[in-house]
Amino acid sequence: MRKRVLASLFFSGAVVILYFLFFSPVLVLSVKNYKTDQILYRQKILAGYSFATCIRHSVHLTPVYEFYRVDGSGSILVVETRLQDLGWGVPSTCDQTVHFENGYMVIQGLNIPLDLVPFRISYIAEPRLLLDGGRREIDLKLYFDDMERMDVLVEKISYFQYLRRGESDVFQEKKTGRAYS
């Protein structure tokens, strides 16, 4: 009798583990070179994960930030834009919440869903990628040729697929020690 109970518990535990491995979904953020298809960064994330891009505006030479958040379905949402100057090449009207904060015009409430973020690397713009809520700052000129495209995407895959693919992180970033979110 005791052997049957132990065997039943073992079998039940194995079924739960197999279910977890094969069917439990996880979100995986990937950064890849569009031209070469090389994965530069692949990490498991949770819903609510945030990252940002930053460029130097070509006319005003001031920073322009785009903030993104990943929802539970794996969609990337553009949630906020921050810029310092008004005029050529910057928005003049919009339906979202706009206010000024610490010298920046902040546009919030965008919530624009994207399947991926295609981002053209221009050395003139001094492009940066801010990961982990701004705690990691990546100088993209070190990893891409001028005018190459970086794609940031999120996949919802099984835990088994995640384990099989593994994680990747080739970025040697400056740790900021601060977060924007």
The single residue listed with the structure tokens 């919802």 is: 156
Element (H, E) at 22: helix 2-23
Residue range 156-177: average pLDDT? 85
Sequence spans of domains, the chain:
26-175
Mean pLDDT of the residues in the chain: 88
Q: How confident is the model at residue 85 (pLDDT cuts 50, 70, 90)?
A: confident
Please tell me the pTM assigned to this model.
0.84
Spatial neighbors of 31 by CB under 8 A, at least 6 apart, are 39, 40, 41, 42, 129, 150, 151, 152
Return the pLDDT at 23. 76
pLDDT digits (tens, 9 = 90+) for 41-63: 999 999 999 999 999 987 878 99
DSSP secondary structure letters along 57-115: -TTT--EEEEEEEE-TTS-EEEEEEEES--STTS----SSEEEEETTEEEEEEEEEEES
* pLDDT value of residue 89: 54
What pLDDT score does 158 carry? 92
- pLDDT of 90 higher than 60: no
